[in-house]
């Protein structure tokens, strides 16, 4: 049973388009992290959100933590080919992290 | 700093063989963890440790053992490899657990025949 579900699983868009990735759960998390992973490498942290309703911006990326701390979204504005990769959300409960199923994003020049 | 290092990079085993995946970090992090990554499943926590001498089970611990004798090292042992353990294994460390950033190693790709 997957604790965190991500959608969509695959996304292929043209450069310049906007997109949103969703991370949903029925469980409450103390914090929610977003990672990006390149082929053959380990995930790298993009952001951590800890407060329900929190919004964080990282250049063209906007992250939101749901009010009930059960879900999160990642919005990318004007996607670029360099945004291509696997995006993973991860919820923390105590000392355990539960990762989402991942969203594979391809941005076509 | 080397960060988190893992060896080997690739490994092929026969069913029933045993082996140890090595993980080391030089950031003096208290928290270390092992994940496996399978297609369409994201990363799943196998075991974790909040400090030397302390280990605990994660989501999918069966078939794996760990120990933490030093802060730096956190080896993962496969006692009797099975084809279902074919996966990519990642070790990670963070200052403490919870909401801290996890730093991941480059991974070990394991195939069990």
- Higher pLDDT, residue B96 or A90: A90
Q: Distance (Å, rounded) from C-alpha A20 to C-alpha A93?
A: 25
pLDDT of residue A2: 62
Q: Distance (Å, rounded) from C-alpha B110 to C-alpha B20?
A: 11
Q: Mean of the pLDDT values across residues B66-91?
A: 97
- CB A90 within 8 Å of CB A98: yes
Residues B7-54 pLDDT 10s: 999 999 999 999 999 999 999 999 999 999 998 778 999 999 999 999
Q: Mean of the pLDDT values across residues B69-96?
A: 96
Which stretches in chain A have pLDDT values below 50? Answer: none
Residues B51-75 pLDDT 10s: 999 999 999 999 999 999 999 999 9
Q: Distance (Å, rounded) from C-alpha A9 to C-alpha A68?
A: 24
Per-residue burial over A19-40, b if 16 or more Cβ lie within 10 Å, else e, is bebbbebeeebebbbbbbbeee
**Residue B1 in this model has a pLDDT that exceeds 80:** no
- Binned at pLDDT 50, 70 and 90, residue B85 comes out as very high
Q: Distance (Å, rounded) from C-alpha A106 to C-alpha A17?
A: 12
Q: Write out chain A residues lying below 8 Å of B41, CB-based.
A: 2, 101
Searching chain B, which residue's CA lies closest to the CA of residue A47?
B101
Strands B108-112 and B4-7, bridge-based pairing? unpaired
Q: Write out chain B residues lying below 8 Å of A96, CB-based.
A: 45, 48, 58-59, 97
Q: How far is B82 from chain A (nearest CA, A)?
A: 21
């Amino acid at each position: 049973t997957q604790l965190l579900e991500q959608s969509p699983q695959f996304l292929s868009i043209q450069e310049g388009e906007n997109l949103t990735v969703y991370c949903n759960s029925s469980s409450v998390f103390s914090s929610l992290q977003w990672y990006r992973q390149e082929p053959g490498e380990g995930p790298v942290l993009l952001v951590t959100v800890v407060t329900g309703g929190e919004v964080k911006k990282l250049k063209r990326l906007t992250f939101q933590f749901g009010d009930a701390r059960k879900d999160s979204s990642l919005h990318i504005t004007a996607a670029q080919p360099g945004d291509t990769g696997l995006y993973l959300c991860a919820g923390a409960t105590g000392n355990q992290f539960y990762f989402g199923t991942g969203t594979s994003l391809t941005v076509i020049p | 700093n080397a960060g988190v290092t893992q060896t080997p990079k690739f490994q092929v085993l026969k069913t029933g063989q045993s082996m140890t995946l090595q993980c080391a970090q030089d950031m003096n992090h208290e928290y270390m963890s092992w994940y496996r990554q399978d297609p369409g499943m994201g990363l799943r926590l196998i075991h974790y440790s909040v400090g030397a001498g302390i280990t605990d089970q994660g989501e999918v611990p069966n078939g794996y053992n760990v120990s933490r004798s030093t802060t730096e090292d956190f080896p993962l042992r496969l006692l009797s490899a099975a084809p279902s353990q074919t996966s990519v294994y990642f070790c990670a460390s963070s200052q403490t657990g919870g909401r801290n950033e996890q730093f991941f190693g480059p991974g070990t790709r394991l195939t069990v025949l």
